[in-house]
Amino acid sequence: MFPSVYYSVIKGTGSYLPCNPVPNDDFLQSQFYDARGNKIETPAKEIIEKFRAITGIDERRYISSEKVTSDIACLAAEQAILSSGTDPESLDYIIVAHNFGDVRFGDNRTDMVPSLAARVKYKLGIKNPMTVAFDLPFGCPGWLQAMITADYFIKSGNVKKILVVGAETLSRISDPHDRDSMIYADGAGATLLEATQNSEPVGIISHSARSDTVNHFRLMWMGKSNNPLYGNGDYFIKMNGHRLYEYAISYVPQLVKETIEKAGIEPVQVKKILIHQANEKLDQEIINRLYKLYGYERPPEDIMPMTISYLGNNSVATIPILIDLLWKKKLNSHTLSAGDYVVFASVGAGMNINAIVYRMV
């Protein structure tokens, strides 16, 4: 007798979008320096206009001073639990993807002990000692890697319900003198996965991941402020934007194609692609190259919902936020129906790439 096959199905979603919008004009008084510590004499207005043309970002959101990452992770988690109708005491696992822990306002140090997942479990008031809580740092693809990990647990046949959260407060570790700091934002998203038996494949159908560390591990790193006079020793997130762009467009399309092929479907069957909101120009080029791998001149209209223009890049939170907005019909004309296939894909520090093909129930 063969064991039953369980599929990982999203039963509930949630997100937390900070109430504090930060428009591009808030950076007009900023003094930027390049990576060598040289003051950039180009007027801030011109820098911001070029930034907008490349990234598509008009504004981003920062959390209020009294909150930390585990707070907003808990708020997103509460929504996912509520929308799924799940008793939180029945959860087998809580996995929280992040990269910097709880960074308090005005203090650049990270705080990751105990784990953010343990903090979320505590804030949710879950007493069940068999609800195992752990963190997963994996760069921007962390939430997606947590979903892949959760899928392995569920397919083991011994796990029924897993809460997967992605939360980040990048505003707390962004260098105010680095132009790249305008990309970063705060936010949290959550999904509740449940083991489901079905006559045909549903939920997570396939997934792929890769880590390119030999030649690409230092495209994103932590370093001192670009301003040599900053002086207090704080470390901030840094990136080699040009090399990161080249890496992403070279490797992400192929990995997504492999994941679609693993699912046994054709690209024409993909209804939506939810990609990490890293940079509008970058995301568009990734999708263009993906469809060219299949011989298409251009991707289908409205294949890729975008939130970066008003939410910025909030790292691990971007895809679960997109899912929450899409599942709850809050993304304008973008909708999904039962049987539709949707692709999730991300790229980030490591360098890491991953993707999932998901079939709607």
Per the CB < 8 A criterion, the answer to whether 247 and 219 are in contact is yes
Which residue has tokens 């068999």? 130
- In tens digits, what is the pLDDT along the chain, a chain of 361 residues? 334 689 999 999 999 999 989 999 999 999 999 999 999 999 999 999 999 999 999 999 999 999 999 999 999 999 999 999 999 999 999 999 999 999 999 888 999 999 999 999 999 999 999 999 999 999 999 999 999 999 999 999 999 999 999 999 999 999 999 999 999 999 999 999 999 999 899 999 999 999 999 999 999 999 999 999 997 889 999 999 999 999 999 999 999 999 999 999 999 999 999 999 999 999 999 999 999 999 999 999 999 999 999 999 999 999 999 999 999 999 988 999 999 999 999 999 999 999 999 999 9
| Residue 352: strand, helix, or coil | strand
Residues 6+ apart with CB under 8 A from 251: 210, 212, 347, 353
Kindly list the catalytic residues: 140, 276, 313
C-beta of residue 168 within 8 angstroms of C-beta of residue 99: yes
Ordered domains of the chain (ranges, CATH)? 7-196 (3.40.47.10), 203-359 (3.40.47.10)
Output the six-digit token pair for 337. 């129906």
Q: Of 236, 318, 323, 325, whose CA–CA distance to 283 is shortest?
A: 318
Instruction: Tell me the two tokens of residue 234.
Output: 């704080």
> Alpha carbon 294 to chain centroid distance?
26
- The DSSP call for residue 333 is T
**At residue 31, what are phi and psi to the nearest 5 degrees?**
-110, 115
Compute how many other C-beta atoms are within 10 angstroms of the C-beta atom of residue 50.
12
Cα distance between the two ends of the chain = 27
